[in-house]
Amino acid sequence: MATVADPAEAGTPAADERRPVRRSRATAPGGRRRHGPPLLAISPFYVLFAVFGAFPVVFSLYLSFQDWDGIGDMRFVGFKQYGWLLEDSVFWHSVLNTFEIWFLSTVPMLFLALVLAFLLHSQVRFTGAYRVAYFIPNVTSMVAMTVVFGSVFAQTGLANSALRMVGMDGVGWLSSEWGIKVSLSIMIIWRWVGYNALIFLAGLQAIPTEHFEAARVDGANSWQTLFRVVLPQLRPVVLFAAVTSTINGLQIFTESQVLFQSTDVGTTGGPGQEGMTIVLYLWQKAFKDHQFGYGAAMGWLLFAIIAVFTLINWRLVSGSDREDRAGIRSLLRRKGARNGR
């Protein structure tokens, strides 16, 4: 990395004589200057990325073909590692669990966030306080909140006490297959609804007022406005939220790890391992069972799954073309005429 200090010392007459005043170039300021300083300025990121980002990725590919406990010698096993992984019923169980929890949490979460955003958008007062209240779940530590939810969902916890009060039987929130998935999903929903609602709210506020005016002039009712003006414009933001929720959702770890943590390693993921997620299994295999190569291979499969999802989402995004205002107007005219408004 070349390091060239700028020779000009600020403000000294000598420097001013040495360096004739240039005309400012708004397009490329410093276009004819030495490249050392800017290259030096961006180098920290690239150096750190090379050491702690790129190298580990390449290394993990190498590791995934090795049988290694982290201490002894590595033994090359090649693609057999992936073969074992694909035959591992616990791995498939963790994939299925991850997808079930992802679906149970993401779909209601995005829907609730949209509803909340619309309601907040209709409020003029109190939005500041509302925003803070809705965002607080997202800034608190997942470990602490999982501990709290763990006690709420315990057999004699608050959730079952509430059910008892209205004369219903308690639910095995942390012991039954669907109880575990539902309680994990509730935690994820609680954490992310406010966050996404605020993102959607910003999307709503970015819609130009004229669009609403045009719809009103053309006699659209609120439902038509919602489906023909608002949602089409919000589509990119909603898709974005869906992509990030998916990427986060497929890497669920903390909630499940803390909820079913115990001194007994065999109980990772809770009763029947119904709370076992991909990353939790990766962590258990690599850092509890010391099968580093196996964990690295799992990391690559996780990456492949996430990549497939991201590609599908890209196709969805690029395949959508937004209706322009004229289109909205003509649509509304036709609808309006039919509805006799």
Query: By CB under 8 A, what part of segment 275-314 binds other proteins?
Result: 279, 282-283, 286-287, 292, 295-296, 299-300, 302-303, 306-307, 310
Minimum CB–partner distance for residue 205 and other proteins (Å): 4
Q: Binding of other proteins at residue 75 (CB under 8 A)?
A: no
The sign of the torsion formed by the CA atoms of 137, 103, 85, 302 equals negative
| Joined tokens for residue 45 | 């990121």
The helix/strand/coil state of 67 is: strand
Q: Which of 81, 225, 233, 284 binds other proteins (CB under 8 A)?
A: 225
- Site membership for other proteins, residue 190 (CB under 8 A): yes
Q: Which residues within the stretch 87-116 sit at the binding site for other proteins (CB under 8 A)?
A: 116
**All residues at 6 or more sequence positions from 110 whose CB lies less than 8 Å from its CB, including other chains:** 196, 238, 241, 242, 245
Nearest distance, CB of residue 74 and other proteins, angstroms: 11
Q: Say whether residue 147 binds other proteins (CB under 8 A).
A: yes
Residue 76 binds other proteins (CB under 8 A): no
User: What's the closest the beta carbon of residue 270 comes to other proteins, in angstroms?
Assistant: 14
Q: Minimum Å distance from CB 73 to other proteins?
A: 14
Element (H, E) at 66: strand 66-67
CB-neighbour burial class of residue 20 (10 A; exposed 0-12, middle 13-18, buried 19+): exposed
Residue among 51 and 96 whose Cβ is closer to other proteins: 51
- In angstroms, rounded to a whole number, what is the distance separating the alpha carbons of residues 189 and 117? 15
| Residue 202 contacts other proteins per CB under 8 A | yes
Residue from the set 107, 171, 199, 317 that interacts with other proteins by CB under 8 A: 199
For 13-36, what is the HEC assignment?
Answer: HHHHHHCCCCCCCCCCCCCCCCCH
- Residue 75 burial (CB count, 10 A): 10
- Hey, which residues between 233 and 272 contact other proteins (CB under 8 A)? 237, 240, 244, 247, 250-251, 253-254, 257-258, 261-263
Q: Pick the closer one to other proteins by CB: 180 or 282.
A: 282
Work out which of 135, 267, 289, 312 binds other proteins, going by CB under 8 A. 135
Counting contacts by CB under 8 A, is residue 320 touching other proteins?
A: no
Q: How far apart are the first and last CA of the chain?
A: 70
Number of chain positions touching other proteins (CB under 8 A): 136
Residue 163 binds other proteins, judged by CB under 8 A: no
Q: Per-residue contact track with other proteins, 16 to 35, x per CB under 8 A?
A: x--x-xx-xxx-xxxx-x-x
Question: Residues with Cβ < 8 Å from 234, sequence gap 6 or more?
Answer: 200, 203, 204, 207
Which of 142, 182, 242, 332 is close enough to bind other proteins by CB under 8 A? 142
Torsion angle of C-alpha atoms 85, 91, 95, 97, degrees rounded to 10: 180
